[in-house]
Structure 1
Amino acid sequence: MAAGSAAKKRVPEPLVVLEEFLPYRLNVLAGLTSSALAQIYAERFGLSIPAWRVIVTLGQYEHRTARDMAPDGVMHKSTVSRAVSALEKRGLVVRRPNLDDRREELLALTPAGRAIYEAVAPQALAVEERLLSVLSPQEQRTLSSLIDRLTRQARQLAPHGSEEDEA
């Protein structure tokens, strides 16, 4: 075999082109968006991603159990529990007895926790607005619908949910 023919050896086509692979692309988008948001809640308020999710959930619903929050934020219950403990130590979250189920506690924001939520939420919405500003209103509605559909399909593919702590 001539030396030139070895150099012409055919390289197989890749099975996956990473930069075109939807899960990778979604992860990159989520990571970049999380980094933008982290500048608000991590740098300014010292909150981890799970802690931020707990603050936002309690800001939205007023009170929840750790079990209720886990699927909402696609976090494992133990991740929520650790975040709640850290927030409780900082005086941002309080536990109350759940009169409907004595095995669980209801979690709520303290006034200090509520103040962080009220300070961060508008800034987080501003990041979202800046991100979406490259899309027309119709494209934004379409994107939202597509994300909903893909999320439902992904939940069927992974029925036990993800225990990731990203985005």
Structure 2
Amino acid sequence: MTDSEFGESDGFDLRDFLPYLLNRAAEESALEFQQIYKDRYGMLRTEWRVLFHLGNYGQMTAKQIGERARIHKTKISRAVHRLESRRYLQRSRSESDRRVENLRLTPMGQSVYRELYGIAGQYDARLAEQFSTDEVALLRNMLRRLAHMG
């Protein structure tokens, strides 16, 4: 297939395709931060996301984290197991429903969360420096809308 059959000549350019651009921007902008939590704590992306949800919102169930973070329950289960084996979180049975496990950070997990929270804030500020204050606000608003977060 030549360019004249499909591609730039018909106005479509993959480099301008919004899903492609969003994916590339997400991958590129997350690389440095990903390296920090991976190298320093041996965490995978889902693990730091579970850790951050517990750090931000306190005690939660795996189901609540999955719904809020839009992560499949199997991935959450693996992340919870790994975080628990590192003593970053602990599980406890719900008093009202014995089938439900409540998850919360241990003191060690809270310490890791606080450190990564500070690093994340600095990293976010460095990314935002590439834009004006108005551009950052607009970008955040547009990305929230695309993510259906209101």
Task: Identify whether the pair has TM-score above 0.5, normalized to the shorter chain.
Answer: yes
Distance of 1:58 and 1:68 partners within structure 2: 10
Aligned to 2:5: 12
Q: 1:141 to 1:100 in 2, by over 3 A?
A: farther
Aligned to 1:122: 118
Distance of 1:37 and 1:12 partners within structure 2: 41
- Asked whether 1:36 is paired with 2:29, we answer no
Larger relative contact order (C-alpha < 8 A, sep ≥ 6)?
1
Q: How many residues are aligned here?
A: 145
Aligned to 1:23: 19
Shift of 1:99: 2.2
Distance of 1:152 and 1:24 partners within structure 2: 18
- Report the TM-score, using the length of structure 2 for normalisation: 0.89
Shift of 1:134: 1.3
Aligned to 1:110: 106
Higher helix share: 2
Partner amino acid, structure 2, of 1:51: E
Partner amino acid, structure 2, of 1:59: G
Shift of 1:49: 0.3
Structure 2, unaligned runs of 5 or more? none
Aligned to 1:52: 48
Structure 1, unaligned runs of 5 or more? 1-8, 154-167
Distance of 1:17 and 1:136 partners within structure 2: 28
